[in-house]
Chain A
Amino acid sequence: MEPTPLQSFQALILTLQRYWAAQGCAVLQPYDMPMGAGTFHPATFLRALSPKPWRAAYVQPSRRPTDGRYGENPNRLGHYYQFQMIWKPSPLNIQELYLGSLAAIGLDLKAHDVRFVEDDWESPTLAASGLGWEVWLDGMEVSQFTYFQQCGGVELTSTPVELTYGLERLAMYLQKVDRVYDLVWVPEGVNPDGSHRPAVSYGDVFEWNELEQAQDNFENADVPEMLRGFEVWESQAKDLIQRSLPLPAYDCVMMCSHTFNMLQARGAISVAERVQYIKRVRDLAVMVAKEYIRKDAMTLAERREEAGRGAV
């Protein structure tokens, strides 16, 4: 029998993917660059800028170098997963749909206390903000629920709603586990040849990684090189925006943001400098957004023409 989200981490992900696929979402894969939150994925940040309808869901690893704890804290991770759903324009029944997803992963809502508690969201580096709630399941924040109002400094006319599920936290609740590394990723089973297949835990997959990444983030990452790296990614982003290439330019913005996060973890940025760095990333995000909106209004043929490549 197929394991349920109460038994396995991957079953939780698969269930959410199936649920949102059934609502018409494009189920995407993680973006292949380091980022601090699923909102950075171009499927959210860039797509939100367009007036065109859009529904997508995906898992995105989030890297939070300062949250790393060498694998010693049962609740904190420097690398964890978010399940992200974006739907634009926001439908009026989105709360019901969201609650449906909780039911789909096996929660009997009538037995629990589910609440929507004010929590507005803001990303200073992305010049993005929104209003919404943190969703409480018996007092635990299991999701962030946000109606985007601004992105890349642009007021959005078609309002996207973004749902972010903290997968590890939710899974710990479902599996009744106190230590994230004890989460069952794959339950034990029997191979086709009858031999026993041991379970795979979250710790099997990530505990070693947490230790080494924390060592890097807090102790080893080369500060002068990263400071230089920030400058390089920044100038590259500006250059690409100049050349009207917002998509690769945005990749550089993500690298700037990640580099900044690493520098923070290394304690290499003072409070005053911090504000300056945030502003530099934000300025890039705003420039990318402007250029993206311009090109989003074009057809692919027009974009090809602008690229000097004519018709295919």
Chain B
Amino acid sequence: MSDPGIELFIEVQCEEIPARFVAPAMEGFAAGIQKLLGGLILGPVVPYSTPRRLAIAVQVAPKRPAVEKVVTGMPLAQARSADGLWGPAALGFAKKRGVDASALFDHNGFAAIRVVEGGESTATLIAAGLEAVVLGIPFKKTMRWGDGATRFARPLHGILCVLDGQVVPATIAGLACSNVSAGHWLLSPEPFTVTSAEGWLHALRERGVYADRSERHARVEAQLRTVAAAEGLHVQPDADLLDEVVNLVESPKVIVGHFNEELLNLPHRLLIESMKVNQRYFPLFSRDGARPQLTNAFLIVANNPEGDPALIAEGNARVLGARFHDAKFFYAEDRKLALGKHAQKLSGTVWIRGLGTMAERQAAITDAAMKLAPLTGANVDHLARLGTVLKADLATLMVGEFPELQGHVGHLLAEAEGYADALAIEEAWLPRHSGDALPSTPAGLSFALAERMTLLSRCFVAEMEPKGSDPQGLRRAAVGLVALLQALPHGAQGGLDALFATAGVPLPKSLAEFLLARLRASLTGEGHATDLVDAVMATGGADVASITARVHGLSALPKDEMAAVRTTFRRVAGLGRDHSAADYSLALLQTEADQQLHLAVQALPTDDADLLVALRNLRPVVDRFFAEVMVMCDDLPLRGNRLGLLRSILDRFSGFADFARLGGE
């Protein structure tokens, strides 16, 4: 068994690091240690973190292995004086290397000495390199403090660094490393001595601090479940929120709070988002049949297990009361005006400088949405009526205060006023990000398409396409539009040109290219082979749903079959591509293989939707043809006939895929 080595343990102690910084910082910290110690590392680099500490433990070799090397100097003739003793040149050579004459010896006719390289202790390497590692920990933002020029996420307070239980004499930003740590800043601030990671973890655990992030994560998760269950309620999983709160506490304690029940009259999305985003609470739900129903109970993940739960719960409930009181005030104010009145304010609001007002924007979206109605199946009268208030909620106090509720507030107010299909106002915003839900109603789909098509078109016509920065969110709009088009009925849109023409929206060439680039990125990002995507997209149809369906179809073929398809049809393209015409003479179909291929080509479907099946059926016939006949034979009419046969295959599939773009396996 190899030497287990000795343990290096480092704890960087600082003021509260932003929760979102922790994961990338720990990755960078571990990488820095890997780079510093390289081959001396004998085991995994184990990360630990709390809001106030970033730590690493790793087994390392105690020193770099020593390697003996012979260094030769001058030939013996020059090295020795007449009396056979080492002369001045040899002595100088030895002195330069820090040894005396006794170390010199004859090595194949040259004066030589032995030197030992490596052998430095790991402690020395750490003492020399730790500062660069710690100060090189990557953070999204760094700051200065005091009078120093050092940058870190927040002020550094100390560095604990022990190797095999001994303090390593390193200095970081003027702080000498120690073997001292401390517990929770409030409950157990008294310092304690550390000799190992295990001892440190244990000492912290005794003080209620869980420095192992995954252990803390599990504790929070378990407590959330237990406390919710004790209330007879349940928590909806939210991995991002859980990750965040785990990085906000080092001594987690889950406490249940209750806000005033009458606030449940407010939009639930507002309550839920406020609790999660602003307060990092977990809302609790009851099961009303199949649908979870929001209750006035919520869970707080506090950082003080010894605190007074009633006091902490009461304080947190007061915050919600105050926060939602604002919302109640805004909602009441907003409801005093009809949505149509709010919409009137839009003519005084600039949309994008130089591109008109919000009122004009709303009219443009509505116009396009109505023209798209035959495609989506939406009720045109509903669209027209909703279109007058589509953006009205932008003028409400509620959306002014909670911009993330844009669409939702409009939907609720419109519903209360009896607008048909009011949900479409909210669904116009879908999808908000990639992977988000798509509109569930035809009216929502119409507005969602029109919203993005008009935005992109106006900006591209005005030459405001994104270059690096993207203040209008055009990339996101394009990704959203592609996702919407992918979900449209196959072939319904008839290509980007036709789609934009239907909507009455100009499609500059640059925008078409931009959208196709997003589509390509989306398909390859889903894991479809680049050559398949390119082969399909090269057909020039620009019908997003059709391109997507063809790529998905090809991509779903079994691996072996796909490899065969690539080989066969690349060959068809290679031979047939440059042949002038797709005609051939029946008289020249000399062999069984010629005739079989002719019959198969004749049988190719007229409907594009069936081409994938046709392709799969055709392949063995083509393979037999290639195996049994010589296409490039010396008989020129015969050769022309066979090339014509292949060319007719290419032509039939020209709207399906460009086989010439298929790559190797």
Contacts and interface: CB of A to CB of B under 8 A. Distances in A.
A130 B249 CA distance: 23
B20 A113 contact: no
A129 to B, nearest CB: 10
Contacts of B489: none
A112 B311 contact: yes
A73 B348 CA distance: 27
Nearest to B253: A113
A75 B322 CA distance: 6
B350 interface: yes
A73 B329 contact: yes
A140 B316 CA distance: 7
Interface string B286-325: 0000000000000010111011100110111011011001
Contacts of B249: 115
A33 interface: no
Interface size on B, as a range, is 35 or more
Interface size on A, as a range, is 35 or more
Contacts of A130: 143
Q: Which 8 A-B pairs have the closest CB atoms?
A: A138-B315, A118-B18, A139-B316, A116-B16, A113-B302, A131-B143, A111-B308, A89-B147
A120 B139 CA distance: 14
A154 interface: no
21 contacts: A72-B329, A73-B326, A73-B329, A74-B322, A92-B146, A110-B187, A110-B307, A112-B311, A114-B186, A116-B16, A118-B18, A133-B16, A137-B315, A140-B315, A140-B316, A140-B318, A140-B319, A140-B322, A156-B144, A270-B348, A271-B349
B571 to A, nearest CB: 60
A217 to B, nearest CB: 15
A306 interface: no
B15 interface: yes
A115 B145 contact: no
B155 interface: yes
A92 B307 contact: no
Given A118-B19, A139-B312, 19 more contacts: A90-B146, A91-B146, A95-B15, A112-B307, A113-B307, A115-B248, A115-B303, A116-B15, A133-B16, A140-B316, A140-B318, A140-B322, A156-B144, A158-B146, A159-B144, A173-B315, A178-B321, A267-B348, A270-B349
Contacts of A138: 311-312, 314-316, 318-319
A101 to B, nearest CB: 15
Interface in B104-153: 141, 143-147, 149
A201 B628 CA distance: 103
B308 to A, nearest CB: 4
Interface string B1-44: 00000000000000110111000000000000000000000000
Interface in A89-130: 89-92, 95, 99, 109-118, 120, 130
Nearest to A169: B322
A269 B350 CA distance: 10
B350 A73 contact: no
Contact of B145 (A76, A137, A147): A147
A243 B311 CA distance: 58
Contacts of B51: 116
A156 B51 CA distance: 26
B279 interface: yes
B579 interface: no
Contact of B329 (A69, A114, A116): A69
A149 interface: yes
A137 B312 CA distance: 9
Interface string A227-265: 000000000000000000000000000000000000000
Interface in B442-474: none
Among B300, B303, B322, B325, the one with the most A-chain Cβ atoms within 10 Å of its Cβ is B322
A74 B324 CA distance: 11
B157 interface: yes
A22 interface: no
Contacts of B325: 73-75
A158 B303 CA distance: 32
B559 interface: no
Nearest to A155: B144
B303 A159 contact: no
A1 interface: no
A173 B141 CA distance: 33
Nearest to A146: B143
A190 interface: no
B502 to A, nearest CB: 32
Interface string B313-349: 0111011011001100100000000000000000011
B459 to A, nearest CB: 15
A272 interface: yes
Contacts of A120: 141
A139 B279 contact: yes
Contact of B146 (A74, A115, A159, A272): A159
Given A118-B20, A271-B349, A112 B147 contact: no
Contacts of B248: 115, 117
Interface in B92-106: none
B350 A271 contact: yes
A139 B255 CA distance: 12
A75 B303 CA distance: 27
Interface string B493-504: 000000000000
B69 interface: no
Contacts of A156: 144
Contacts of A267: 348
A271 B350 CA distance: 6
A291 B523 CA distance: 57
Contacts of B146: 89-92, 158-159
